[in-house]
Structure 1
Amino acid sequence: MAAVTFNYRLDDFIGTGRGPALLGPFTIANVPQVADSDAVVTLRYYGDFSPGEQTYESFNVQIEGFTSQSFGAIPPNDEYNGVNVVSFTIPQSVLAGIVADGAIDIRYGIGRDVDDFKSIREEYIDLTIDYQGTYVVRPPSTSIDGTSGPDPLTGTDFGDTINGFAGNDTITGYSGNDLINGNQGADVIFANQGNDTIFAGQDDDVAYGGRDNDAVFGNLGNDALFGDKGNDTVGGGQGNDYVRGGQGDDLVFGGAGNDQIWGDLGNDTLSGGTEADVFFFAAGSGNDVIVDFNRAQGDSLNFQGQTYTVSDVNGSAVIALSGGGTVILTGVSSASLDAGAFA
């Protein structure tokens, strides 16, 4: 089967195009109407070609209503690790005039797809598409800004910076490593895929980190914050916050206020911060550590109906839960835990 790789953002165009080309498997978006004058696409074939053998191939480039066909000889020229390497160039004239937001479909010979293409010797050829010319390859990014009112803001499949500004916004990050700022208003934020950073901002916000390793911060207001999947950092900031790590080995802290803190699944590190916080542990919640448990300021533990035993190891109370898992109270002895420590 053929191997096709092209997934880059290409910049440095001229003319009246719509900006960078964003390419993924069999798709191309935001293609400039006029590419740089020396822009080319080189197709490099890796296969077993006999010395002096030539293969004539025609191919079509189809993007929306634009179609261009080229025909030329592909001679063997170089050898790499015993495999002949040949190349063929799609000229700039093929690229110029391509309209935006279509699907690219490169076909060979009698119209077989890349996955089915064989050389005239009936041997499979792996294909890699390299982009050459004056293009600059760099990670894609997009800045998306809201207004002073309530906005539905949606990111792209790449790394976005999304600013909600004022208003009660609903923000969705999709894929990519996003930076999301809720700012003012009671916002609802879904980061989804990627290693995202969320600053929920002022007011009472709800934020979900989604997949991967996220950083979710509440700041002002009484926030509900969820790390979801991945090894997340979830922090409540000021206010009486509801903070959950979700799956993975998380760092979860409440900050100021009377917070409800859940490590959830995984081996988590928990911190209540100031004021009276409640730490929750369901069955199977993993081996967790609370680094600043403080009975004097009103901290307590809630084991969701599980029974438990308490022992001391190296000066810290170790609580074994009936549903599996442990809770270590760093620097806190079991003797200092009164009945009020267990909510």
Structure 2
Amino acid sequence: MSQTDVRMDGSAETRADREATPGSAGGRRERLVTHRERADSYYGRPVLNEPTWKDHDIAAYLFLGGLAGASSTLAAAAELTGRPGLARASKVGALGALGGSLYCLIHDLGRPERFLNMLRVFKVTSPMSVGTWILTGYGPQAGAAAATDMTGLFPGLGRAATVGAGLAGTALATYTAALISDTAVPVWHEAYREMPFLFAGSAAASAGGLGMLAAPLAEAAPARRAALLGTAVECVAASRMERRLGPVGEPLRRSRLLRLGEALSLAGALAGVTVARRSRVAAMAAGAALLAGSACTRFGIFHAGMESANDPKYTVQPQRRRLAKKRAERELA
């Protein structure tokens, strides 16, 4: 039957459907399902297919990739300013984080050859394609920088590789923001303006935390500054993102992981510029808090996106607002 019945006065009225549920005397009972209950999607079903990504692969990849890229940039700065202890800690840390991120990526892909298959083309409009080439260009340089520093061989090559990895590291730390924003997941897609700044700040904070954790106190000043600046950028970007997204940003505002990440990052950054200047134990604690805070932020962003993909209102309502805005603009024109 039609969804609209005609009343005796000639007006149309939306008819309430009946939905059978178990539990009544005859084994079934009926309740009215109004049009309002179905306003967002068909019987409240998700509009989008949930991404097949898993948090232990992709969220970890987002964190480790950002840590690797920002650590290489910090290593290049330390190398050029004569801080060998900080440079070595950042180079080795970057290589370890790179190995972990590649493992997570390949584990998500299922087979290593799938990564190699993506190198057959270069598509500038595809964040996945661009990111694959960024990783390919960054990885050997990060490996050479760490290997030459640890062995003392080929110092000239090692210095060049350190600078090259530092430059490529800025792209590695932020391209994943474009990668997830280029999906249909509502929270990620709508946050495309702030996401690169949030990821860049989070990556800088984690690299600063690693430097404070592993480098001598006398050489850790750049790491402390990176942690403070990164945390400030991350917090401002997150706050602006949650406000601008409005109702779509509800999963972000409800995320306990994001709140915990902000608290840990702020505590670590403030400790870094105060007590961590004089105490090795305080510096290690601050560095660990910054690393944990950055990880919580990436996992929080990941889970908020998954929540928004499963709830149809976060997909349908923004579309309706955009259509209403276009209609209003046409009427005013």
TM-score, length of structure 1 as denominator length: 0.19
Considering fraction of residues, name the structure with more helix: 2
Of the two structures, which has the highest relative contact order with CA contacts closer than 8 Å and spacing of 6 or more?
Answer: 2
Task: Kindly indicate which of the two structures has a greater share of residues assigned to strand.
Answer: 1
